[in-house]
Amino acid sequence: MTHQVHIIGGGLAGSEAAWQLAEAGHKVRLSEMRGSGDTTAAHDSDRLAEMVCSNSFRSDDATANAVGLLHQEMRALGSLVMTAAEIHKVPAGSALAVDREGFADEITRRIEAHPNITLVRERIDALPATGSTIIATGPLTAPGLAAAIAVAAGSDALAFFDAIAPIVHRDSIDMGICWMAARWDKGGKDYINCPMDKSQYDAFIAALNAGEKTEFKEWERDTPYFEGCMPIEVMAECGPETLRFGPMKPVGLDNPRDSSPEYPNGRWPHAVVQLRQDNALATLWNIVGFQTKLKHADQMRIFRTIPGLHGAEFARLGGIHRNSFIRSPELLDPELRLKALPHIRFAGQITGCEGYVESAAIGLLAARFAAAEIAGSTLAAPPLETALGALLGHITGGATAETYQPMNINFGLMPPLTGPKVKKGDRKRMYTDRAREELGKWLTDANQTLESA
Ligand SMILES: Cc1cc2nc3c(=O)[nH]c(=O)nc-3n(C[C@H](O)[C@H](O)[C@H](O)COP(=O)(O)OP(=O)(O)OC[C@H]3O[C@@H](n4cnc5c(N)ncnc54)[C@H](O)[C@@H]3O)c2cc1C
């Protein structure tokens, strides 16, 4: 099969892009190096769309949360990632979390079976000289291709650090100490909560501060962290209370084992460590927000001081990796094409968006732009009032190139609301209402343009 578009990288973005193009009737070659003897520092398998850390796509609330809105917009555009997530979701309160193996298997199976997609397990080390190409090789792009990109882009790739949280076997957790609940009872009782009193918390913080950390290499020293993925020991260094206001915050979590006539539902502990279901069988649970660069022996020693985790068996320990992304606002045009080589588009985290959902969303858009181009047409960018448009706008020019940092979708990327003063509690709903209306109009126009091409 000769292909019309070559997609390099079968992660979240590349898989979504391949699916979108194939469903539009275009022939795709999808090159993925895992499965050919290569891998990255974070992937564990040869599956496409492997989630390397958390198993969560974050909030699924499309009325009050920007990432929930992005989910909804992607569903409206036939997203493969969202379809597979729906099939393999696991309980996670108001978040959309999945069984990571089932999810990635689903995507791999569908891509392999699609008649318009040829999946080739190969590593690509150079930018294709001609032909429509989408580079979706992610934050851990293989070094050969990363070097080729840096040369073509005429600029060094930027870098930051990202970290992975540990995963614990459910049957090693002491449920005589922990309890199941969601914060403020929102959603189901989906999280395992480990309560800490003040002396336990203080000892834990002291142990984190004293624990042995992975040393950075010389060239890594000045690389900043992505703030949403900061290791716990780095947060602990910021001050003893930082974790209690971050991943260990106790608010809204009544511990039923600490009830009294005055507090029949129990009281909030001094601090709480939460675990979230990580697979459909509910046998594996990840420690929420516990990304870490502690050495493995110290992770086991320190995390086993958490009440309820004294016998914890770890299915995976935490780790830390360097991520790369390009200076997209300067290098890419509004259709995600490299200005210097317009047959090449970029998609996914390498563009400087952050997160599974955002990466898949940019893969979706890159594919739609490429599909319109093949059809001899041009697809207008989604309006900035939509989550898709806001994210794309940020990457392709909205952000300042000099200070460009990876970004999750948020309402702050959208134009502010206009009109009469809005009550604070109504703002998010007004953003999402406006986005839905704008996406509807954009979709109608896009379909009409495609039909007349
Ligand atoms: C350590 C770490 C932890 C993270 N934790 C989270 C998290 O908890 N939540 C979250 O939302 N996001 C997290 N992220 C970000 C996450 O990587 C992205 O959200 C998402 O996986 C990016 O999707 P992508 O498709 O751009 O890249 P990826 O999913 O990484 O896919 C890129 C693919 O390209 C392949 N590839 C690379 N180079 C080549 C080449 N030269 N030739 C062929 N194939 C190649 C790789 O094997 C990979 O399959 C984390 C990232 C890292 C590195």
**Cut 0.85: pTM above it:** no
Per-residue model confidence (pLDDT) at position 398: 75
104 Cβ closer than 6 Å to some ligand 1 atom: no
227 phi, psi to nearest 5 deg: -65, -30
Per-residue model confidence (pLDDT) at position 42: 84
- Report the distance separating Cα 53 and Cα 316, nearest Å: 10
Q: How many C-beta atoms surround the C-beta of residue 78 within 10 A?
A: 14
18 Cβ closer than 6 Å to some ligand 1 atom: no
Helix (H), strand (E) at residue 273: strand 271-277
Of 274, 275, 255, nearest to 265 by C-alpha is 255
CA of 53 relative to ligand 1 center, distance in Å: 10
286 Cβ closer than 6 Å to some ligand 1 atom: no
| Whether 42 contacts 100, CB under 8 Å | no
Interacting residues of 268 by C-beta distance below 8 A, sequence separation 6+: 250, 251, 252, 253, 254, 255
- Report the distance separating Cα 28 and Cα 5, nearest Å: 5
Per-residue pLDDT of the chain (453 residues; tens, 9 = 90+): 589 999 999 999 999 999 999 999 999 999 999 999 999 988 999 999 999 989 999 999 999 999 999 999 999 999 999 999 999 999 999 999 999 999 999 999 999 999 999 999 999 999 999 999 999 999 999 989 988 998 888 755 556 666 678 889 898 999 999 999 999 988 889 999 999 999 999 999 999 999 998 776 544 555 556 556 688 998 999 999 999 999 999 999 999 999 999 999 999 999 999 999 887 778 889 999 998 889 999 999 999 999 999 999 887 788 776 678 888 988 999 999 999 999 999 999 999 898 999 999 999 999 999 999 999 999 999 999 999 999 999 899 876 666 666 778 988 788 888 877 777 778 899 999 999 999 999 999 988 876 776
162 Cβ closer than 6 Å to some ligand 1 atom: yes
Atom 4 of ligand 1 has which residue's CA nearest to it? 53
Say which amino acid occupies 137: T
- Report the distance separating Cα 29 and Cα 9, nearest Å: 10
What distances in angstroms separate CA 445 from CA 78, 401, 435, one per listed residue? 17, 31, 15
Please report where in the chains the tokens 């041009």 appear, as a residue: 378
Of 56, 50, 44, 102, nearest to 289 by C-alpha is 56
- Secondary structure (DSSP) of 40-52: -SS--SS-TT---
Calculate ∠ Cα 362-364-370, nearest 5°: 100
349 Cβ closer than 6 Å to some ligand 1 atom: yes
278 Cβ closer than 6 Å to some ligand 1 atom: no
Q: Which pair of tokens denotes residue 119?
A: 């999946």
> Which of 103, 349, 350, 357 to mutate for ligand 1's pocket (most ligand atoms within 8 Å of CB)?
349
Atom 30 of ligand 1 has which residue's CA nearest to it? 138
53: helix, strand or coil: coil
Per-residue model confidence (pLDDT) at position 219: 44
Atom 12 of ligand 1 has which residue's CA nearest to it? 355
Question: pLDDT per residue over 309-357, tens digit each?
Answer: 999 988 778 877 667 888 898 899 999 999 999 999 999 999 989 899 9
- Give the N- to C-terminal CA distance of the chain in Å, as an integer: 25
Atom 52 of ligand 1 has which residue's CA nearest to it? 162
34 Cβ closer than 6 Å to some ligand 1 atom: yes
The ligand 1 atom at the shortest distance from the C-alpha of residue 125 is 41
CA of 258 relative to ligand 1 center, distance in Å: 42
52 Cβ closer than 6 Å to some ligand 1 atom: yes
Residue 194: DSSP 8-state: E
CA of 70 relative to ligand 1 center, distance in Å: 19
**What is the per-residue burial (b if ≥16 Cβ within 10 Å, else e) of 195-208?**
bbeeebbeebbebb
356 Cβ closer than 6 Å to some ligand 1 atom: yes
CA of 65 relative to ligand 1 center, distance in Å: 24
123 Cβ closer than 6 Å to some ligand 1 atom: yes
Atom 49 of ligand 1 has which residue's CA nearest to it? 11
